[in-house]
Amino acid sequence: MRVVISTSASVPIYEQIKTQVRAAILSGQASAGSSLPSLRQLAADLRVSVITVTRAYNDLVAEGLVHNEHGRGFVVQDVDPVIAAEALEKRVDAALIELRLAARHARIDIDDIHRRLDEAWRSDPDD
């Protein structure tokens, strides 16, 4: 699992971490029973405070996505597939709203959006 943050974004860093880890869990990239990166390791990798990572992880505990296990750190919990699918659908809806706003500002017409979406849909997801 790779977490990337932006220090210039308006979204707080802990929220960026939480959002990306949540997405990895809900998409199955981080599977049930797997350990998240340690607090210290992720903080060092991202060059942020351990407190920032702790806040993100504790929020994920409160959401029921991970738990803190003695000797293993934060461990991904089993997530109901229906709940995961609903959460991912909400992410898609939010992304579509953002796409619509950006496209209108850039004056990109709907036909061009369809073409680009078709290309993206058919492309290798690891690109």
Give the Cα separation of 53 and 42 in Å (integer): 7
Give the Cα separation of 86 and 91 in Å (integer): 9
pLDDT of residue 22: 94
Identity of the residue numbered 10: S
Nearest to 9 by CA among 104, 17, 1, 53: 17
Q: How many CA atoms lie within 13 A of 58 on its CB side?
A: 7
Nearest to 60 by CA among 81, 42, 36: 36
pLDDT of residue 85: 82
Q: How confident is the chain (127 residues) per 10-residue block, as mean pLDDT?
A: 93 96 92 96 98 97 93 94 82 91 96 94 75
Q: Looking at the structure, give the CATH architecture of the domain made up of residues 13-76.
A: Orthogonal Bundle (1.10)
Both ends of the chain: CA-CA distance in Å? 16
pTM, full prediction: 0.70
